[in-house]
A and B are shown apart, each in its own frame.
Chain A
């Protein structure tokens, strides 16, 4: 019961945040000194063309009326239309969002699977060669620019070794001979559901390099956070008590200590997940990955407000969901949290 009320309280709070962002994005898009209608009309429009478009887009109406239409559209899930390409943003995002999510989720999974055990061991053996080596790797992973890593990765694994493809989500062969039936837009899921294993393998091949490059930052930060909090937890009395009780090192490190030490790492990985939705655009560009980062970067260059607003709202939603998830995990791990 305590858990459910905790959940509902967090959900209520999240709604509040979302409405705030909704209002902010609307205001910002209306006070920016640029004329959307002129942009929509294209190069050198006549004044009456601009007026006509203003009317069409509803920009001649009072702000309160515009806001009502904007919220009304959002409530029915309509994100609007790009000023630049005139395409429906819903259609675009249905294409780009799963591509980005697939990439970012893969990167985050790599970060957790690689970073947490490494951090645990580095924390368990402080000042050991392993500790120093992972420290160096972690700092390198966090500070290396992703575009540089991407180029190096392509050079090694594509040009030199020829193990992995250069970019894209699937190869031309796959699109031609065993196309993936789009359901969710997550190629790995779609291919697996339809039993199209050749395409699944092809999609996985394409995913590896960009996911690895994108994971460099979260891997590094996961290692550091886990190492630091393990170091702290391992000095607690209950760890000495566990050792005095004759529990094995494995149980102490990966069960008793890790459960106490994992939260900071999960928190930063969660935030870097949300950040990567738009922040991955360099990696997406270099690997020709048709993702949200690339999409919104173009929109920004074209001052395409509906797209910018839509993506902002989507990213907000992701942030909210990730934070909610982190809070829920914290509550699940730590029985004391639910009472607060």
Chain B
């Protein structure tokens, strides 16, 4: 069942250098109980997508087109007050660097307590109990002591666990995790992803996992959307896409991964650079770098073609293979 659906989302930023089109028509669906990966390079628009769903874009950003349907309501049409009721309560967010996402001057317990108080009228003693449970549920040792600890006294992994506890406080249905493990050590990374999977299973929470790491997607997600220059170029079940990527960009990304046995050989790279958001792009944004480029690619912007039940790619190579 579709819980959250992003349709044709366009976002642009007004900057001193001109208008930057960060999202140029993002489409994807998050099913209830799934972990969905949004993957792409820096600047492809994955974080902007997350922020757009929360409606927490910076002031110079503007959603020019599109819909974000959550439980049959378009989040973009809600008043600020209605949106406020959704933040934290129904959709929560965790951030890349927990050291900066936690307020340095308040204790962990105090910060969770603030969130609890914002969302329920429970008395202080009950909130304290709920905080202790939350801290225990994210695997922090000695929750009673954690209550009075400041963020700087925790390790990076513990900080991210505290951040996750904070995001869970109001029992949201969706968590948007914006590169939640990028700032962490690899071993800690695995633990945090494990925790996210456990929470998703046990609490039936749906997760949008924003990452640039294909390995994380393969391990953690059921579905994935590959973003390039503000558009989804390929999406579908993780297994299908990793087994047979159909867009030349995703193919290039997967080919660029180091594999067992590739030692000593040069890693494959995709030649060229990501286009800047300032440029006007008429056709396929990937065309200038694509090895299969056709003349039409520079003129026509390819829509997502369905290749299988759970596999779509936005490439003119698949124009004739459409499943309907």
Chain A residues packing against B (C-beta within 8 Å): 236-238, 240-248, 251, 255-256, 259-260, 333-336
Chain B residues packing against A (C-beta within 8 Å): 54, 56, 84-89, 92-93, 95, 97, 100-106, 114-115, 118-119, 150, 152, 163, 166-167, 169-170
What A residues does B119 contact at CB under 8 A?
246
What B residues does A251 contact at CB under 8 A?
114, 118
A244 to B100 alpha-carbon distance, docked (Å): 14
Closest 10 CB pairs of A and B: A246-B88, A244-B93, A245-B88, A246-B87, A237-B100, A238-B103, A241-B101, A335-B150, A245-B115, A237-B101
Given A245-B87, A251-B114, A334-B105, 14 more contacts at CB 8 Å? A237-B97, A237-B101, A238-B101, A241-B95, A241-B101, A242-B114, A244-B87, A245-B114, A245-B167, A246-B86, A247-B118, A248-B84, A260-B103, A333-B105
Cross-chain contact B54 with A244 (CB below 8 angstroms):
yes
What B residues does A255 contact at CB under 8 A?
114
What A residues does B100 contact at CB under 8 A?
236-238
Cross-chain contact B163 with A260 (CB below 8 angstroms):
no
- Chosen A-B contacts, 13 in total, with CB atoms closer than 8 Å, are A237-B101, A238-B103, A240-B95, A245-B169, A246-B115, A246-B118, A248-B118, A256-B103, A259-B105, A260-B104, A260-B105, A335-B105, A336-B152
A241 to B103 alpha-carbon distance, docked (Å): 9
A241 to B170 alpha-carbon distance, docked (Å): 14
Shortest Cβ distance from residue A234 to the other chain B in the assembled complex, whole angstroms: 11
Cross-chain contact B89 with A246 (CB below 8 angstroms):
yes
What A residues does B167 contact at CB under 8 A?
244-245
Cross-chain contact A246 with B84 (CB below 8 angstroms):
yes
A286 to B114 alpha-carbon distance, docked (Å): 50
User: Which residue of the partner chain B has the closest CB to A242?
Assistant: B103
What B residues does A236 contact at CB under 8 A?
100
Shortest Cβ distance from residue B231 to the other chain A in the assembled complex, whole angstroms: 25
What B residues does A237 contact at CB under 8 A?
95, 97, 100-101
Cross-chain contact A245 with B118 (CB below 8 angstroms):
yes
What A residues does B104 contact at CB under 8 A?
238, 260, 334, 336
Question: What is the number of contacts between chain A and chain B, taking CB atoms within 8 Å?
Answer: 78
What A residues does B95 contact at CB under 8 A?
237, 240-241
A243 to B92 alpha-carbon distance, docked (Å): 10
Shortest Cβ distance from residue A128 to the other chain B in the assembled complex, whole angstroms: 12
What A residues does B115 contact at CB under 8 A?
245-247
B97, B103, B167, B170: most-surrounded residue (chain A CB, <10 A): B103
A336 to B166 alpha-carbon distance, docked (Å): 22
A260 to B165 alpha-carbon distance, docked (Å): 23
A251 to B114 alpha-carbon distance, docked (Å): 9
Residue B56 contacts which of A243, A248, A256, A336 (CB distance < 8 angstroms)?
A243
A255 to B114 alpha-carbon distance, docked (Å): 10
Shortest Cβ distance from residue A214 to the other chain B in the assembled complex, whole angstroms: 31
Cross-chain contact B152 with A246 (CB below 8 angstroms):
no
User: Which residue of the partner chain B has the closest CB to A249?
Assistant: B84
What B residues does A242 contact at CB under 8 A?
103, 114
What A residues does B106 contact at CB under 8 A?
256, 259
User: Which residue of the partner chain B has the closest CB to A335?
Assistant: B150
Cross-chain contact A240 with B56 (CB below 8 angstroms):
yes
What B residues does A335 contact at CB under 8 A?
105, 150, 152
Cross-chain contact A245 with B166 (CB below 8 angstroms):
yes
A260 to B101 alpha-carbon distance, docked (Å): 14
Cross-chain contact A241 with B105 (CB below 8 angstroms):
no
Cross-chain contact A336 with B87 (CB below 8 angstroms):
no
A318 to B87 alpha-carbon distance, docked (Å): 48
What A residues does B89 contact at CB under 8 A?
246
Cross-chain contact B105 with A247 (CB below 8 angstroms):
no
A77 to B10 alpha-carbon distance, docked (Å): 75
User: Which residue of the partner chain A has the closest CB to B112?
Assistant: A245
A244 to B119 alpha-carbon distance, docked (Å): 13
Shortest Cβ distance from residue B176 to the other chain A in the assembled complex, whole angstroms: 8
Shortest Cβ distance from residue B88 to the other chain A in the assembled complex, whole angstroms: 3
Shortest Cβ distance from residue A55 to the other chain B in the assembled complex, whole angstroms: 62
What B residues does A241 contact at CB under 8 A?
93, 95, 101-102, 163, 166
What B residues does A334 contact at CB under 8 A?
104-105
Cross-chain contact A247 with B88 (CB below 8 angstroms):
yes
User: Which residue of the partner chain B has the closest CB to A257?
Assistant: B103
A255 to B105 alpha-carbon distance, docked (Å): 10
A237, A256, A259: most-surrounded residue (chain B CB, <10 A): A237
Shortest Cβ distance from residue A1 to the other chain B in the assembled complex, whole angstroms: 15
Shortest Cβ distance from residue B149 to the other chain A in the assembled complex, whole angstroms: 9
What B residues does A260 contact at CB under 8 A?
103-105
What B residues does A243 contact at CB under 8 A?
54, 56, 87
A206 to B321 alpha-carbon distance, docked (Å): 89
A260 to B106 alpha-carbon distance, docked (Å): 10
Shortest Cβ distance from residue B216 to the other chain A in the assembled complex, whole angstroms: 21
Cross-chain contact B163 with A247 (CB below 8 angstroms):
no
User: Which residue of the partner chain A has the closest CB to B103?
Assistant: A238
Shortest Cβ distance from residue A257 to the other chain B in the assembled complex, whole angstroms: 9
A23 to B235 alpha-carbon distance, docked (Å): 78
What A residues does B150 contact at CB under 8 A?
335-336
A140 to B56 alpha-carbon distance, docked (Å): 36
What B residues does A246 contact at CB under 8 A?
84-89, 115, 118-119, 170
